[in-house]
Structure 1
Amino acid sequence: MLEFRTQGFNGYGIKYSPFFDSRIAVAASANFGLVGNGRLYILGLTPNGIVAEKWFDTQDSLFDTAWSESHENQILVASGDGSIKLFDITLSQFPIQSWQEHAREVFSVHWNLVGKDTFLSSSWDGTVKIWSPNAAASLTTLPTHSCTYSAEFSPHSPSVLSSVSSDSHLRIFDLRTPASASNHLTMSIPIHSPPKPRMGAAAPVGIAPSEALSHDWNKYRDSVIATAGVDRVIRTFDIRAPGAGPIAVLPGHEYAVRRITWSPHLSDILLSASYDMTCRVWSDGSAMGVGAEQLQNTVHQDPMFLGGGREMGRMGRHTEFVTGVDWCLFGAEGWCASTGWDERVLVWDCRAVMQ
């Protein structure tokens, strides 16, 4: 396990470069993001450990970061002052572009993985905005009417994106639909609706809605999305059946789940970061085939479990809230990096903690 100290700055977001397996970016904030400056770290993995290749200081807290999918040296940051900044890591301290349209904190940024020519941002002001790095103003604004903690483009379509918000809904937007109808909104799924009962089973009990903080599209199954948040539970949904409720439910974290991300290598594995100071590896049960429900009934005595998934292992080396986690896209399918409020970046191998 490799470690780097972001001294004086508490980590919020971490992302591996899509171009280099040895480069990681970390968005961090002074004073836990409550007040003060931010810092974007560009870290290199070397034979001598993790070294800071460069860093950029900002006037306000940083909550997320996203590498450009079209330019290996460009990277976005989401700021607490409502701005989005684009840096070129080969240039000086100042951003090469900055946008200021959001009325409140920007909590997530995400680059279009398919089109590669646009990116999005989501904010506490209740909107998701679509941008071009070459345009001075946003291209489209999508209202969610609630504090939006996470938004992403689908990795399978350049026109489809999703968000999760404080109102406990997963929203799907399709930019190909008429804007006048419903602002491109095609689906709104209540995350805390109970799953449909199986034949002969009692109806499941619903859970009081709570804020959804994170979500991610499955890289191999184009209709599957995982969500997580304040209620400590990870859920997966199939958007082909939006009224069916979750297809997998994975409880286990002791405090809110701050970040989740599907493996880029395996279709059933995802990674989570939580305020309980752990990162956990999960299987959603989909790789178990027809035996998933039997496994659920025989292995999991907790009635909250659904779908045959299980916790595969956990990493508990952080000593404060874990707020960011990401997989390495290259090489063996276990390497990942995490960051948190303990001012630490850890690079580790999931396979070492999996059971």
Structure 2
Amino acid sequence: MLEFRTQGFNGYNVKYSPFFDSRIAVAASANFGLVGNGRLYILGLTDRGIVPEKWFDTQDSLYDTAWSEAHENQILAASGDGSIKLFDISLDQYPIQSWSEHAREVFSVHWNLITKDTFLSSSWDGTIKIWSPEQPASLTTLPTHSCTYSAQFSPHAPSVLSAVSSDSHLRIFDLRTPASASNHLTLSIPIHAPPKARPGIAPPIGIPPSEALTHDWNKYRDTIIATAGVDRTIRTFDIRMAGHGPVAVLPGHEYAVRRITWSPHLPDVLLSASYDMTCRVWTDGTAMGHGGGTNGEDPMAYGGGKELGRMGRHTEFVTGVDWCLFGAEGWCASCGWDERILVWDVRAVMGQ
């Protein structure tokens, strides 16, 4: 396990470069992101450990980062002052572009993985915005009418994007549809709605809605999305069968789940980072031949999903986790409010 200290700055998210397996970026904030400056770290993974290659200081907290999919040296930072900044790590401290349309904190940024010429942002102001790095203003604004903590382009369709918000809904937008009154919204899934009753089984009990903080598209199954948040539970949904409720339900975290990410190597495995100071690895059960559905005794027991292991080396909230895209499956990086970046092998904690 490798470790790096972000002295004076608390980590909010970590991302591996899509071009180099030896480079990661960390969005961090002073004073836990409540007030003060931000810092974007560019770190190299070497045989001498984790080495800082560069950092960029900002006047407000940083909550997320996303590498450009088109330029190996360019990277986005999402700021608490409502701005998005694009840096080139081969240049000096100043951003090469900045956008300031959001009215509240920008909490997520995500690059289009397919067309590679657009990115999105989501904000506490209740909007998602689509941008081109070549344009000074946003291309499209999609209202969610609630604080939107996480938004992503689908890795399978360049015009499809998703978001989860404080109103406990997973929303799917398709930019190919007419804007009309729906603003490209094609599906809205209430995350905490009870699944449909089945013949011979008592009606399931509903769960009080709570804020959804994170979600991620499965990299192999183009209709599967995982969500998680304040209620400590990970759920997976098949957007073809949204009305049937979650496909898998994975309880176990003791506090809110701040980040989840599906494996780029295995279709059934995902990682989570939580305020309970752990990162956990899960299977949704599909690799074991479980197709989902309830059993007769527990309406919230789906498929064969379960926890496979956990990493508990952080000493504060864990706020970010990301898989390495290259090499042997299993390497990942995590960050947290303990001012520590850890790079570790998921396989080493499985079964513990």
The TM-score bracket by the shorter chain reads over 0.9
Q: Residue 104 of structure 2 aligns with which residue?
A: 104
Q: Residue 141 of structure 2 aligns with which residue?
A: 141
Q: Residue 210 of structure 2 aligns with which residue?
A: 210
Partners of 1:239 and 1:345 in 2: how far apart?
34
- In terms of mean alpha carbon deviation, does 301-310 or 203-212 score higher? 301-310
Q: Residue 336 of structure 1 aligns with which residue?
A: 332
Partners of 2:51 and 2:199 in 1: how far apart?
56
Post-superposition Cα deviations, 1:252-286, rounded to whole Å, max 9, x if no partner, equal 00000000000000000000000000000000011
Partners of 1:178 and 1:90 in 2: how far apart?
40
RMSD: 1.4
1:254 aligns with 2:254: yes
Contact 2:168–2:212 (CA under 8 A) maintained in structure 1: yes
Contact 1:195–1:245 (CA under 8 A) maintained in structure 2: yes
* Secondary structure in 1 matching 2:32: helix
Q: Displacement, 1:149?
A: 0.1
Partners of 1:39 and 1:284 in 2: how far apart?
35
Identity %: 84
- Residues 322 and 131 of structure 1: is their aligned pair in 2 closer, same or farther, counting only changes over 3 Å? same
Q: Residue 9 of structure 1 aligns with which residue?
A: 9
* Secondary structure in 2 matching 1:345: strand
Q: Residue 49 of structure 1 aligns with which residue?
A: 49
Return the letter of the residue paired with 1:338. S
1:351 aligns with 2:347: yes
Partners of 1:317 and 1:207 in 2: how far apart?
32
Ranges in structure 1 where 5+ consecutive residues have no aligned partner: none
Partners of 1:26 and 1:169 in 2: how far apart?
28
- Residues 43 and 120 of structure 1: is their aligned pair in 2 closer, same or farther, counting only changes over 3 Å? same
Q: Displacement, 1:122?
A: 0.1
Q: Displacement, 1:290?
A: 4.6
- In terms of mean alpha carbon deviation, does 201-210 or 274-283 score higher? 201-210
Return the letter of the residue paired with 1:72. E
- Residues 17 and 354 of structure 1: is their aligned pair in 2 closer, same or farther, counting only changes over 3 Å? same
Q: Residue 313 of structure 1 aligns with which residue?
A: 309
Q: Residue 152 of structure 1 aligns with which residue?
A: 152
Return the letter of the residue paired with 2:324. C
Ranges in structure 2 where 5+ consecutive residues have no aligned partner: none
Q: Displacement, 1:86?
A: 0.1
Partners of 1:149 and 1:253 in 2: how far apart?
19
* Secondary structure in 1 matching 2:215: strand
Return the letter of the residue paired with 1:347. V
* Secondary structure in 2 matching 1:35: coil
- Residues 331 and 199 of structure 1: is their aligned pair in 2 closer, same or farther, counting only changes over 3 Å? farther
Q: Displacement, 1:23?
A: 0.1
Q: How does 1:292-307 map to 2 (within 5 A)?
A: 304-307=300-303
Return the letter of the residue paired with 1:35. V
Contact 2:204–2:299 (CA under 8 A) maintained in structure 1: no
- State the aligned residue count: 351
Post-superposition Cα deviations, 1:194-221, rounded to whole Å, max 9, x if no partner, equal 1223442212111000000000000000
Contact 1:235–1:250 (CA under 8 A) maintained in structure 2: yes
Return the letter of the residue paired with 1:140. T
Q: How does 1:101-180 map to 2 (within 5 A)?
A: 101-180=101-180
Partners of 2:259 and 2:303 in 1: how far apart?
21
Q: Residue 264 of structure 2 aligns with which residue?
A: 264
The alignment's TM-score, normalised by the length of structure 1, stands at 0.97
Contact 2:290–2:304 (CA under 8 A) maintained in structure 1: no
Partners of 2:314 and 2:21 in 1: how far apart?
23
The alignment's TM-score, normalised by the length of structure 2, stands at 0.97
* Secondary structure in 2 matching 1:7: coil
Return the letter of the residue paired with 1:23. R
Return the letter of the residue paired with 1:121. S
Return the letter of the residue paired with 2:166. S
- In terms of mean alpha carbon deviation, does 188-197 or 45-54 score higher? 188-197
Partners of 1:303 and 1:253 in 2: how far apart?
19
* Secondary structure in 1 matching 2:289: helix
Q: How does 1:77-96 map to 2 (within 5 A)?
A: 77-96=77-96
Q: Displacement, 1:305?
A: 3.2
- Residues 114 and 291 of structure 1: is their aligned pair in 2 closer, same or farther, counting only changes over 3 Å? closer
* Secondary structure in 2 matching 1:287: helix
